[in-house]
C-alpha cells in the first residue's frame, strides 16, 4: 500500500483535491450533498493520527457560537460578514502555523485544510450580495489551540454551523436552479 504514513497522507490529500475541482457556487448553495462532499474534515481526521498533534504555534478559533434569535434578526450581509470573517481569520492563522511547522505530515494536513477554507471563503465572497462592512458582534471570545485534531474539529463546527445556516438563507435561489 503506502511505504509510510506520510505517503498515505499525500495520496489521500491528492484524491481530496481532485474530488472538489469542479464545484460551482450554485451547486454548493442548492445541494447539501455537495456541501457534505466539500467538508474535508472527515477525511482529514484519520490523517491527523499519523501526525504529531502538537502544532508549533496556536491556531486562532474565532467564536462561531450563534444565538439563533439574534441570527434571525441579522441582515443577510451581516451573516455573510460573520461567516466571511470567521473563515478569513482561520485561514490567516493556518497560514502562520503552516509556515512554522517542520513536520511534513502536519504541513500536508494544514495545506489541505487551508485550501478547503479558502474554497469556502471564495464561495461566501461570491454570494448574491456584497459583504457588510459592519460585522455583527460576537457573543463570545475566540480561542486558540495548538492541537491539529482540535483545529480540524473546529473547522467542521464552522462548516456545519454558520456556513450551513448562511446557505439556508439562500435556498430561494435554488428554485430557479436546474
Give residue-wise pLDDT tens across range 22-75.
556 788 888 888 888 889 999 998 889 999 999 999 999 999 999 999 999 999
Residue 173: the pLDDT is 80
Residue 13: the pLDDT is 44
Q: Which residue has the cell 450581509?
A: 77
The contacts found for 150-153 with CB under 8 angstroms, 24 or more apart, are 150/61, 151/55, 151/59, 151/61, 151/94, 151/113, 152/41, 152/44, 152/45, 152/48, 152/109, 152/113, 153/41, 153/45
Residue 102: the pLDDT is 85
Residue 127: the pLDDT is 80
In 155-173, which positions are buried (b, 16+ CB within 10 angstroms) versus exposed (e)? beebbeebbebbbebbeee
| Mean pLDDT, rounded, of the chain | 83
pTM of the full structure: 0.82
Confidence bin at 170 (pLDDT 50/70/90) = confident
The residue-averaged pLDDT of 118-134 equals 78
Give 135's DSSP letter: P
- Which CATH class name applies to 5-175? mainly alpha
Confidence bin at 134 (pLDDT 50/70/90) = low
- The answer to whether residue 109 scores a pLDDT higher than 70 is yes
Amino acid at each position: 500500500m503506502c511505504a509510510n504514513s506520510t505517503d498515505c497522507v499525500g495520496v489521500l490529500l491528492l484524491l481530496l483535491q481532485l474530488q472538489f475541482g469542479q464545484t460551482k457556487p450554485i451547486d454548493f448553495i442548492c445541494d447539501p450533498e455537495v456541501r457534505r462532499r466539500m467538508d474535508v474534515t472527515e477525511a482529514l481526521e484519520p490523517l491527523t493520527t499519523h501526525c504529531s498533534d502538537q502544532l508549533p504555534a496556536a491556531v486562532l478559533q474565532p467564536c462561531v457560537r450563534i444565538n439563533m434569535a439574534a441570527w434571525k434578526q441579522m441582515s443577510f450581509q451581516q451573516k455573510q460578514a460573520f461567516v466571511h470573517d470567521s473563515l478569513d481569520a482561520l485561514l490567516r492563522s493556518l497560514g502562520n502555523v503552516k509556515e512554522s511547522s517542520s513536520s511534513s505530515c502536519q504541513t500536508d494536513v494544514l495545506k489541505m485544510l487551508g485550501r478547503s477554507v479558502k474554497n469556502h471563503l471564495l464561495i461566501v465572497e461570491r454570494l448574491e450580495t456584497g459583504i457588510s462592512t459592519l460585522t455583527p458582534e460576537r457573543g463570545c471570545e475566540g480561542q486558540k489551540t495548538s492541537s491539529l485534531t482540535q483545529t480540524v474539529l473546529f473547522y467542521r463546527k464552522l462548516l456545519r454551523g454558520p456556513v450551513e445556516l448562511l446557505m439556508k438563507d439562500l435556498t430561494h435561489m435554488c428554485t430557479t436552479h436546474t
